[in-house]
Amino acid sequence: MALPIVKGSRYTTVLPSTGAEIEYRPYNVGEEKLLMVALESKDQQMIIRTLKDVMQSCIFDKVDFDKFTVFDFEKLFLALRAKSVGEIVDLEMKCQDTECNSVTPVSVNLEEINLTDLPESNTIIIDNDIGVTLRFPGVQDVERYDEEHLAKPQGAFDLMIDCIDTIFDEEGVYNTKEEPRESVEAFLNNLSSAQFRKLSTFFESIPTLTHNIEYKCIKCGKENELELKGLQSFFT
């Protein structure tokens, strides 16, 4: 005898960078298990791979995650998580008083988490007529490196090189994909600190998932305040 299959609901969400609508169903228990195993591994590449697989199964149209910005990807997962498991995530937050260190349970409503605004422009004028156009880091870019490398200055630098689309001057526009990577790296190394700062400002203003939480420590009563940032901080 064939057992019945429970039909799920359909929802839509909007990608922040393009405004494109994505239609999806919640993930099921089997898929949730895959996600939990991946998250527990703390292996960034495995986590992204599993997220991609599960998210693709839940999205009705075929999507190319390699073209997704990191923040679109995170926002989409958050929407999926909210409809699959529920909007409320229970976190255990440490007291910021280093002598206390007690853990207080805190609930976060995923639907209240917003992305910061997009930067005004992706064109940066570095000096007189020389400038660059930048793109947002994509899922593909982050997947290429491990988390440890990305946290180092060289990692941030590598990601910056990946995200320079073109370099231009009064004579023309140079597509960096057609230039050797070493040339792009040399271009960056040649900038003054003040010029380099203009580029880093763009990367610092990339939309991120942020949420401020306030909680009173259950042990010492200290009022704690913290900004949660990035996908993983909402799940660990």
Residues that bind Zn ion (CB under 5 A): 95, 97, 100, 102, 217, 219-220, 222
Least spacing, CB of residue 215 vs Zn ion, in Å: 10
CB of residue 117 to Zn ion, shortest distance in Å? 34
Q: Are 58 and 27 in contact (CB under 8 A)?
A: yes
Instruction: Give whichever of 100 and 213 is closer to Zn ion, judged by the CB atom.
Output: 100
- State whether the Cα torsion 145-64-22-39 is positive or negative: negative
At 32, the amino acid letter reads E
Q: Which is nearer to Zn ion, 217 or 228 (CB)?
A: 217
In whole angstroms, the minimum distance from the beta carbon of 93 to Zn ion comes to 10
CA 46 vs CA 53, 67, 152: distances in Å: 11, 19, 20
* Distance in angstroms (rounded) separating the CA atoms of residues 75 and 196: 29
Query: What tokens appear for 234 in the block?
Result: 């909402």
Q: Which CB sits closer to Zn ion, 191 or 220? A: 220
Q: How far is the CB of 4 from Zn ion (least distance, A)?
A: 50
Picking from 65, 82, 97, the residue whose alpha carbon sits closest to that of residue 11 is 82
CB of 96 to Zn ion, least distance (A): 8
Nearer to Zn ion by C-beta: 63 or 91?
A: 91
Q: Which is nearer to Zn ion, 67 or 219 (CB)?
A: 219
Tokens of 17: 């960078």
Count other Cβ atoms within 10 Å, centred on residue 86. Answer: 12
**For residues 129 and 224, what is the distance between their CA atoms, to the nearest angstrom?**
48
